[in-house]
Amino acid sequence: MPTRARLALPAVAIVLALACGGAAEIGEACTERGSGEECVDGAVCDSVEGKGVVCLKLCDDDADCDADESCNGISGASGKACHPKTDTK
């Protein structure tokens, strides 16, 4: 293998690793409230009492959420997300 190609392989591996790092799943930590950029599709970053700032499932009404969640507004953005019913934000 030519030297140039051997030197390029680590750089390509790093780029692929970063690209495949993926977005945070629902319930996983994120940082920017009101943004969905850090979260998987269909989720948004918002604060949850006792958990900090995490990705939450987007919703239109309570029917879109699990039984222990309710569809409430998102901090710093329009739209709604499934928050735990115990969350008193």
pLDDT value of residue 88: 54
Structure tokens at 18: 């970063």
In a domain, 45, yes or no: yes
- Would you say residue 53 has pLDDT above 70? yes
In a domain, 46, yes or no: yes
In a domain, 80, yes or no: yes
Whole-Å CA distances, 21 to 38, 39, 43, 51, 67: 11, 12, 17, 22, 31
pLDDT value of residue 2: 59
In a domain, 16, yes or no: no
In a domain, 15, yes or no: no
How many domains in the chain?
1
Encode pLDDT of 19-47 as tens digits. Answer: 445 799 999 999 999 999 999 999 999 99
Is 46 exposed, middle or buried, given 0-12, 13-18 or 19+ CB atoms closer than 10 A?
A: buried
In a domain, 50, yes or no: yes
Range of the domain at 54: 24-84
- Give the pLDDT band of residue 15 (cuts 50, 70, 90): very low
In a domain, 31, yes or no: yes
